[in-house]
């Protein structure tokens, strides 16, 4: 299994919408991916909660069957549509991929 964790910050306004609207739009788009992409074992989309300590606006905590499944996800056309959606709205990104069996 390969864990894939990504976190994003979003612009206060982008693509004609405010941050909250864009975060919700991207969160919904991400949540649709497990239904169309094979190899996903876990897929948790997390929106920062007001009043809680936060560094990022949106995060994805996911797991894939193996490195090949993660690579297939990365280039999948539906994922690429979400990448473009995020790219037009984000101001920052952090990512870590790891094999929990090798910790």
Q: How many CA atoms lie within 13 A of 62 on its CB side?
A: 24
Task: Give residue 53's pLDDT.
Answer: 92
Q: How many CA atoms lie within 13 A of 48 on its CB side?
A: 17
Q: Which residues of 37-52 are buried (b: 16+ CB within 10 A; e: fewer)?
A: bebbeebebeebeeee
Q: Decide: pTM greater than 0.75.
A: yes
For residue 95, with 0-12 CB atoms within 10 Å meaning exposed, 13-18 middle and 19 or more buried, which class applies?
exposed
Q: What is the mean pLDDT of residues 7-26?
A: 98
Lookup: tokens for 57:
């606006």
pLDDT band at 12 (very low <50, low <70, confident <90, very high): very high
Lookup: tokens for 11:
């612009």
Phi and psi at residue 36, in whole multiples of 5°?
-120, -5
| pLDDT per position as a tens digit, 57-100 | 999 999 999 999 999 999 999 999 999 999 999 999 999 999 99
DSSP SS3 for 36: coil
CA–CA dist 41, 65 (Å, integer):
6
Output 50 or 86, whichever has higher pLDDT. 86
Task: Give residue 37's pLDDT.
Answer: 98
């Amino acid at each position: 299994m390969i864990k894939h964790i990504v976190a994003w910050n979003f612009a206060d306004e982008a693509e004609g919408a405010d941050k909250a609207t864009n975060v919700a739009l991207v969160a919904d788009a991400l949540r649709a991916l497990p239904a169309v992409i094979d190899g996903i074992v876990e897929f948790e989309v997390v929106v920062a909660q007001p009043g809680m300590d936060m560094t990022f606006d949106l995060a994805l905590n996911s797991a894939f069957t193996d490195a090949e499944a993660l690579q297939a996800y990365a280039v999948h056309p539906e994922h690429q549509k979400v990448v473009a959606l995020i790219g037009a709205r984000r101001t920052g990104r952090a990512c870590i991929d790891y094999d929990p069996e090798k910790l």
